[in-house]
Chains A and B, each alone.
Chain A
Amino acid sequence: MVVKVKPTDTAIEVAELNFYYGDTQALFNINLSIPSKMVTALIGPSGCGKSTFLRTLNRMNDIIDDTRLAGTIKIDGTDIYESGMDIVSLRKSVGMVFQKSNPFPKSIFDNVAYGPRIHGIKSSELLTEIVEKSLERSGLWDEVKDRLDDNALGLSGGQQQRLCIARALAVQPEILLMDEPASALDPRSTAKVEDLIGELKEDYTIIIVTHNMQQAARVSDYTAFFYEGSLVEYGVTSNLFTNPKAKQTEDYITGRFG
């Protein structure tokens, strides 16, 4: 099922994607165009493959033994799975925020500076500038600007997650992948993160996996509904939620199964 999207640029073009863990197939013939500088939500019941799909976009599945992928994923016209692809620069332009925030046991400054340092930036003025900008962008600067040398593990859960977002932004990606970024947070922190996503989409293409439909409805422009490894429906969020085309979509949205 190929879905045409309203006229915006396409950031990621997924064609005929099939994915296997060993002998088990996890993704079946996914075709999807993800629009640029918009928020696309991936929803679906547990085990439907949305997280697996997300991880194919920055090739994080590569670190798992015995996985196989067929099909193409094109970013900026280049198939990121073709041989000779520079994975390091791919992961620079496609950043990831994990479900459980995982700040390194270093200082706040060193956490955010980690990415740029890895990629060769040594000048401390430049690093300080990058750290400040990234923390501002993720809305954490005011809260931590006086204690950049404190251990990041001392921050609250919501702050840690925003720190991880700042860390991802520090390497200047074009695309940001977020795997259930607010599922471990309390409602207030969740709201902060959701607001943040709304601001970030001006500059970044954002793809967010969520099991929380209300969140998807609040935050995203486009939504893709996954079920048992297949893409069942994809469309503008408001349309998908008010007027779902597929019966499965409707059943999931109305809570007939979850």
Chain B
Amino acid sequence: MSYKLKEILITSGLRLTTYAIVFVIGYILVDIIWHGLPVINWQFLTEMPRRGGAEGGIFPAIVGTAYLVAGTILIALPFGVGSAIYLSEYARRNRVTELIRLAIITLAGVPSIVFGLFGLGLFVIFFGFGASILAGSITLACMVLPTIIVTSEEALRAVPRSFREGSLALGASKWQAVRTNVLPYSFSGIITGAILGIGRAAGETAPILLTVAAFFLPRLPQSIFDQVMALPYHLYILATQHPDASKVLPLQYGTALVLLILVLGLSLGAIIIRSHFRRKYRW
């Protein structure tokens, strides 16, 4: 066989494999959009569920997810950015720094259900928060922390060294130099990381399974010690444990689509922000 033919065969095989994967992704998305879109309307998004979720809307699940996400970011962002500032601007090569990095890699690899166990053992039981927004948010924050640290550190390191040197030579203290001449230019990277973290927190079920989620709550949460409904958990229960599974299929699709739009919308937002800022600050 001539080598040219071989080339074409191999290249085509590679192309086929790649686009097969693309096809599968596309099929999944289309399926969910196709079946879910008809279900989504204003009532679906703003009404409370009725008849154990078989009818009505998913409003409380949306609200619950929003609360959880807000709580997660409120906790994870300061700790994440602070850690990134330390690692990028202050840390020296010593044992402690190695240990911090090891811890970050470890946390990044912990399975989400193990975070759920951890959250259960420490926050729900030991600290006595009970199944609550508080316990759920802290658990999710722990899970999302590595992502925020890594993206924030990258954003900080992307700022040229000469900015720091220039500031120091003018008599700025180290923190002044970082605060006025490094941090502002790393915002876009940090925000991108935060949005990615939010996306993960919104879509995860396992960590909230044991720490906060409930399927049917008669009213919206009044405090951070309350349980909430959440979109991923709601979908899970509708799909697997609802006694009237076939009847609620459209609602399942609707919930899945809302969750999908939320998560993918956030990813898209992150990409847009990143390229907008890239054009604004060039150096």
Give me the interface of A with B, judged by CB distance under 8 Å: 58, 60, 63, 65, 88-92, 95-96, 98, 100, 102, 104-105, 114-115, 117-119, 153, 164, 167-168, 171
Contact = CB atoms under 8 A, between A and B. Distances in A.
Interface in B80-129: 92-93
Contacts of B170: 91-92, 95, 114-115, 118, 167-168, 171
Contact of B162 (A58, A100, A167): A100
A65 B90 CA distance: 11
Which secondary structure characterizes the binding site on chain A? helix
Contacts of B224: none
Contact of B165 (A60, A88, A153): A60
- Ranked nearest first, the 5 interchain pairs of A and B with the lowest CB-CB distance are A91-B171, A102-B162, A96-B169, A92-B171, A115-B170
Contacts, number: 62
B92 A60 contact: no
B162 A63 contact: no
A95 B169 CA distance: 7
B166 to A, nearest CB: 5
B166 A102 contact: yes
Interface string B169-187: 1111100100011000100
Contact of A118 (B163, B165, B180, B283): B180
Nearest to A86: B171
B281 interface: yes
Nearest to B185: A105
Nearest to B93: A65
Contacts of B283: 105, 153
Interface in B120-175: 160, 162-173
B282 interface: yes
Contact of A89 (B167, B171, B281): B171
B167 A114 contact: yes
Contacts of A167: 170
B172 to A, nearest CB: 5
Given A89-B171, A96-B169, 17 more contacts: A60-B168, A60-B169, A63-B165, A63-B168, A90-B171, A92-B171, A95-B169, A95-B170, A98-B169, A100-B162, A102-B163, A104-B163, A104-B181, A114-B180, A115-B171, A118-B176, A119-B171
Contact of A98 (B164, B166, B171, B172): B166
